[in-house]
């Protein structure tokens, strides 16, 4: 990458970090509107996978690999994230109402505080991968990088929300939640910066994008959509999801 491209990647990653921080701050202040933001994020993340990354993965990967190979790597991304989700608590969903976070009696969740910290750590690792996705997308093309960045920005907003919710639901106080929010906010910037140290060969770039197609679809379908509908009316959240997908479709075809 040339110097200007590197500055663009780092600038976009910094915006993702800011979005994560704003999302966590939003969770601490305005919990009754979270379902609308999460619904929009679900559509945006699915939209970037279907309308931008998938066509690019097919186009780039098709030069060197069969369609079956591209599909295999999409499946690896989806099911690989499923394994992470289930085995290392990447997204720990409780039955608690998000509107009740921070309302537990003192000491009630103390035994679960390490669980909340571990969950926040894995969310930060996921945000690091979001930054990697931005950097890899810019290696493919500037237009792809911009669209992926839009999806990451909306998704990292919800990541900030999830980080705060996770720590508070498991007995952590607001100071602990804020510290983990800072870690999560820094992670995308570090992930994007790491991609400046290597360049993926063109013959493998389509397969890497295919992996991100699978991960983005999984995040939308298994995390953001269910969370946006959790204990909230579904009509408006569904509209927000469709709006997010439509916006990304428009952006993908405009660039």
Question: What's the mean pLDDT in 95-119?
Answer: 50
Q: Where are the alpha helices (DSSP H) in the chain?
A: 3-29, 34-48, 54-61, 67-87, 113-140, 142-169, 174-194, 202-218, 225-229, 234-254
Residues 6 or more apart whose Cβ sits within 8 Å of residue 102: 28, 168, 174
Q: How far is the C-alpha of 185 from the C-alpha of 235, rounded, in Å?
A: 31
Q: For 6-41, how does the pLDDT look when each residue is reduced to its tens digit (9 = 90+)?
A: 677 777 777 777 877 777 776 656 656 667 777 877
Three-state DSSP class for residue 198: coil
Tens of pLDDT, residues 187-241: 888 888 888 888 888 889 899 989 989 988 988 888 778 877 765 667 888 898 8
pLDDT at 106: 42
Q: What is the pLDDT of residues 136-155, one digit of tens each?
A: 888 888 888 878 877 777 66
| pTM (whole model) above 0.75 | no
């Amino acid at each position: 990458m040339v110097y200007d491209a590197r500055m663009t990647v780092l600038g976009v990653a910094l915006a993702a970090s800011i979005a994560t921080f704003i999302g966590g701050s939003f969770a601490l202040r305005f919990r009754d509107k979270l379902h609308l933001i999460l619904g929009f994020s679900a559509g945006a993340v699915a939209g970037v996978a279907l309308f931008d990354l998938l066509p690019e993965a097919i186009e780039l990967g098709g030069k060197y690999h069969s369609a079956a190979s591209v599909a295999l790597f999409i499946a690896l991304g989806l099911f690989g994230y499923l394994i992470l989700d289930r085995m290392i608590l990447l997204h720990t969903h409780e039955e608690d109402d998000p509107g009740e976070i921070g309302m537990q009696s003192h000491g009630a969740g103390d035994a679960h505080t390490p669980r909340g910290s571990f969950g926040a750590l894995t969310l930060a690792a996921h945000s690091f991968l979001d930054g990697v996705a931005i950097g890899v997308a810019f290696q493919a093309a500037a237009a792809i990088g911009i669209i992926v960045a839009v999806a990451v920005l909306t998704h990292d907003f919800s990541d900030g929300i999830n980080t705060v919710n996770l720590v508070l639901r498991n007995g952590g106080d607001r100071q602990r939640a804020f510290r983990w929010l800072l870690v999560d906010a820094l992670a995308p910037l570090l992930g994007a910066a790491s991609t400046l140290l290597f360049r993926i060969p063109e013959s493998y770039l389509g397969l890497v994008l295919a992996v991100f197609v699978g991960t983005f679809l999984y995040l939308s379908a298994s995390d953001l959509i269910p969370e946006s509908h959790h204990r909230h009316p579904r009509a408006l959240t569904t509209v927000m999801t469709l709006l997010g997908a439509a916006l990304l479709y428009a952006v993908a075809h405009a660039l």
